[in-house]
Chains A and B, each alone.
Chain A
């Protein structure tokens, strides 16, 4: 039998770090979204808002590359999308972190499960899934 008490505290430390990581991720991404939002409103605030029908071609920033190109032009919309990207990757880093913590605990079954979950997310990163 392993010592359950020791494990419990190791888990607890990891969870505290994870909690902090998530909070930092949320605060950082929301700050970026907020700054991008101000910039966006200062430029486009008086134009008309039209979202009545979904048109995939209308959204410029639908890939990571396009978002970075837009940011280099200081386009508020691209900055908002970058903040959104940061937010999306916040829980993903948590999965990565969990894989490492299972590796430290030598729980290889859960290392595999974690890699699998990460794999599913990475596959969704490929553009090919969108018809």
Chain B
């Protein structure tokens, strides 16, 4: 395949990945990696390197829109970045020593988990109980403006959330994805933040976390300009278009259709990983 044709195919695929990723909340990385490896036979290490760059692009691009709304809790973000940056760098260092087949299997499992998280009904567990010792020490409790006045919220189980973020960071560094599904689990279910705060704060953290592991990937030569260029441009364009459509559409049906597609991709990754085809 010529470089020109390869670039055009990857660009189109990345555009779709970014579009669907932003409509469903999955993120572009989890879609572009199976696309590159399963459909185009790209080595998973190159796919991971390209994907992490696109994660930085989409998270920084949409963070610009989010921070203007003023609901991001910068303290929670910074505090949890301690966990995610350390573990992301570790994950990025380790990834090359792991058999690509195993990486594909881990990837498949995370993909299945993301699919479940996507269709599951989200329940807001937040309350205004701000008695947590660690939450007070690190000044994590906050408030956000709504139409009916300022709502205060308390942060729970800070230690549990921190540990979950360590795991999210390792997965992010290992697989080159934003691991948004894991971050949301840590923030919504363990630390019990309101949705509005957890979504924007998780996005705020994603860029920094991805930057830490991206530098390791760059040094190792996993970020190849020939793949990173179409992937980053495509995913960013797709995500930008997606965020414009998102405001006007109900994505419930799309999420179910897409959960089926993602499940299929996940099984394919796991199967190929186990049989040593990747």
Chain A interface residues (CB < 8 Å from chain B):
11-12, 15-16, 18-20, 22-23, 25-26, 29-30, 33-34, 36-37, 40-41, 44-49, 51-59, 61-63, 76-78, 80-81, 84-85, 87-92, 94-95, 98, 107, 109-110, 113-114, 116-117, 120-121, 123-125, 127, 129-131
Contacts and interface: CB of A to CB of B under 8 A. Distances in A.
A58 B13 CA distance: 25
A82 to B, nearest CB: 10
A92 B5 CA distance: 34
Q: Label chain B's interface by main secondary structure.
A: helix
Contact of A84 (B60, B67, B72, B223): B223
Interface of B: 1-7, 40-46, 53, 56-57, 59-61, 63-68, 70, 72, 74-75, 78-79, 81-82, 85-86, 89, 92-93, 96-97, 138-139, 207-208, 210-216, 218-230, 232-233, 236
Given A52-B42, A91-B207, A130-B220, A125 B3 contact: no
A113 B1 CA distance: 48
A56 B96 CA distance: 10
A91 to B, nearest CB: 3
Contacts of B43: 51-54
Give the interface centre of A33, A76, A77 by most chain B CB atoms within 10 Å.
A33
B232 A46 contact: no
Contact of A49 (B207, B226, B232): B226
A130 B216 contact: yes
A41 B7 contact: yes
Given A30-B57, A33-B232, A33-B233, A92 B211 contact: yes
A117 B221 contact: no
A11 B42 CA distance: 44
